[in-house]
Structure 1
């Protein structure tokens, strides 16, 4: 029993580590003049090829039942389509700090959505952990003389990303009872390719330049496709299946923690005392939110 719990926690932490790297890897790619939709599309292609090789070689890819096609279309609509469009274009209109604050509200909305849709109970400790973890996130992203350049369109787009993440988690909670995590992520990303191909030809094809794909960019995108776009979703889905959405989603506030550490190691960004304090606050909040589960 304890071994199984530790495995789930290990999977959750790994998922957040990979997603935390995603922000740094995405920044490296965008700084290399790779267009947002091009980047997402290539990530999805890499992820789909990786997942198909994995699932086919192990013989574990399930076929989608006809009655469940609508759920897979819906989950792909939420993520990757709406989430990545909302986040990517929203962050172009507001500061990254304001964007991080808005994205960090996802764990606040998920428990209420889970209660409305599934009547999943929300404990006081779970709510307390969520609130404290968001305070920790604010400490991590806070900078002196900070200013929020408010764009209503940018805020609206980021809230689309937030609501998409909530919707994704609700649909995932429903279909995870029938399908394995690897099956869900494989089909989710394959369907995502079909959604992003038309967008690529409308928005990015005229800007596509093969010479931009240096060895550094290629390795970065391959890592983004395999780790955040594939393994993170598989591990997170497994945790949702075993722990439920409330205790799993609060771990997403580890992402700014991991991002800050990766940015310090890879991009030489400063890791201040305030950021370190925020990191410890988030970890403390996660412990609080999991107390009932640990017992």
Structure 2
């Protein structure tokens, strides 16, 4: 889409704001661990988003009822991977690792997506993608090992990072299924139905584990999670994709580990070390390499 260069500069602010919101949510997730259980904040988050979306989506939901009924199973699967497994495991990981590590591990979603695509979409990566995956994986190991490779042998110290890895792995499935199915459903209708399924999935855990009360210590964290990362950030990201395109927009996601680390440093007093710097650099380099395309033979000849 060709738009005014001045407008491009303003639109470029939108993915930056979205990345800041998602990075802030990682820090909020870590901060609130002492005040609310993972099941409780996850349930409240989607309940708030569901309530806020309902007045705006019901009319369109009725008009889209046939296509929703046709694809309800896919929407249920997407909700399981993207809103329950990914988000739920992220809230659990926050009890055992730092927000800085969570932000860095989150940056490996594109690499995990490439791996999952091999098995589901039968899309084999090119040599740049393979090299990018290897470089990113080394960066990931460096962060988990805290800069000392011998630390990898002490498995008990990596529970939070391992849980976050599981969350990222499940989110990769979410992205691959979106690409595979390409559902022709309006974005917020799709999100609304997925939230509905996510709430249903939470009910057994809520009945078994119970819900923590919302009080002065956790109310703002719960409200933030239910409004900003659940509704506002996806909207800003969608607008960015519309004007900047998916490739240009996705590059901004590489800033998430850095933004998360800065927030965690000043708010949570977490330390940023040399191994965090190297690990993040390797992660970003790997992702950029993985996105590189091999020129077609005709292009190579013409050059």
Whether the TM-score (by the shorter chain) exceeds 0.5 is yes
Q: Which residue of 2 aligns with 1:69?
A: 72
Counterpart of 2:42 (choices 40, 43, 47) is 40
Alpha-carbon RMSD across the aligned residues, in angstroms, is 4.4
> Are the aligned partners of 1:134 and 1:253 in contact in 2 as well (CA < 8 Å)?
no
Q: Which residue of 2 aligns with 1:220?
A: 221
> Are the aligned partners of 1:140 and 1:274 in contact in 2 as well (CA < 8 Å)?
yes
Cα 1:26/1:98, change in 2 over 3 Å: closer
Q: Which runs of 5+ in 2 are unaligned?
A: 295-303
Q: In structure 2, the residue corresponding to 1:270 is in which secondary structure?
A: coil
Q: Which residue of 2 aligns with 1:204?
A: 210
For 1:101 and 1:56, the matched residues in 2 are separated by: 38
Higher-Rg structure is 2
- Does 2:259 match 1:258? yes
- Does 2:197 match 1:191? yes
> Are the aligned partners of 2:110 and 2:287 in contact in 1 as well (CA < 8 Å)?
no
For 1:256 and 1:288, the matched residues in 2 are separated by: 18
Q: How does 1:12-51 map to 2 (within 5 A)?
A: 13-31=16-34, 33-51=35-53
> Are the aligned partners of 2:40 and 2:206 in contact in 1 as well (CA < 8 Å)?
yes
Aligned residues: 284
> Are the aligned partners of 1:239 and 1:248 in contact in 2 as well (CA < 8 Å)?
yes
- 1:185 deviates by 1.7
- Does 2:81 match 1:78? yes
- Does 2:178 match 1:172? yes
Cα 1:3/1:286, change in 2 over 3 Å: farther
- 1:100 deviates by 7.0
Cα 1:264/1:239, change in 2 over 3 Å: same
Tell which deviates more after alignment, 268-277 or 134-143.
Answer: 134-143
- 1:259 deviates by 1.4
For 1:78 and 1:140, the matched residues in 2 are separated by: 25
Once the two structures are superposed, residues 50-101 of structure 1 have per-residue CA deviations (whole angstroms, 9 ceiling, x without a partner) of: 3334546999984443220100111111122222344444565x65588777
For 1:11 and 1:124, the matched residues in 2 are separated by: 33
Once the two structures are superposed, residues 1-31 of structure 1 have per-residue CA deviations (whole angstroms, 9 ceiling, x without a partner) of: 3659x69976655443322212111122212
- 1:192 deviates by 0.8
TM-score by length of 1: 0.71
Cα 1:183/1:72, change in 2 over 3 Å: same
> Are the aligned partners of 2:80 and 2:198 in contact in 1 as well (CA < 8 Å)?
yes
TM-score by length of 2: 0.70
Q: Which runs of 5+ in 1 are unaligned?
A: none
Cα 1:13/1:157, change in 2 over 3 Å: same
> Are the aligned partners of 1:73 and 1:191 in contact in 2 as well (CA < 8 Å)?
yes
Q: How does 1:120-159 map to 2 (within 5 A)?
A: 120=123, 122-133=125-136, 135=138, 143=146, 147=151, 149-151=154-156
Counterpart of 1:107 (choices 110, 115, 119) is 110
> Are the aligned partners of 2:265 and 2:272 in contact in 1 as well (CA < 8 Å)?
yes
